[in-house]
Amino acid sequence: MKPGWRLGLNVAAWTVAIPILGIIGAVLGKTMFRSGEAEVIMAHAIEVVLVLWAAVIYWRCVPSTPSVLRRAIYLALFAATMLVVGYFALGAAVMVVVLLFGL
């Protein structure tokens, strides 16, 4: 598989996982962990999972290069892309959770 395709598919999987994690968290919050503290812990756990997953995508899928400048540009582009994609995916996740479970 071409490196570009692999990177795109991994970012797409990361994006789709955000609403799925939201649904799983909402189900757990309504069944097993019915406290505000538990919801905060789950939110932090989701954040950690997403950040670590993004780091793995960067490590495994962004092409390496001997040029430090080019490497820095790749990192900046990757981080900016993930922030924008993540912002919209989180918005979509909130919408899906509200539609499925109410407020």
Using CB under 8 A as the criterion, which residues of the chain lie in contact with other proteins when the complex forms? 18-19, 21-22, 25-26, 29-30, 34-36, 38-40, 42-43, 46-47, 50, 86-87, 90-91, 93-95, 97-103
Phi, psi values for residue 77, rounded to 5°: -65, -45
Q: What's phi and psi for 52, nearest 5 deg? A: -65, -40
Closest to other proteins by CB, 7 or 29 = 29
Residue 43 or residue 73: which is nearer to other proteins going by CB? Answer: 43
**Alpha carbon of 74 to those of 41, 70, 95: distances in Å?**
32, 6, 32
Of 55 and 73, nearer to other proteins (C-beta) is: 55
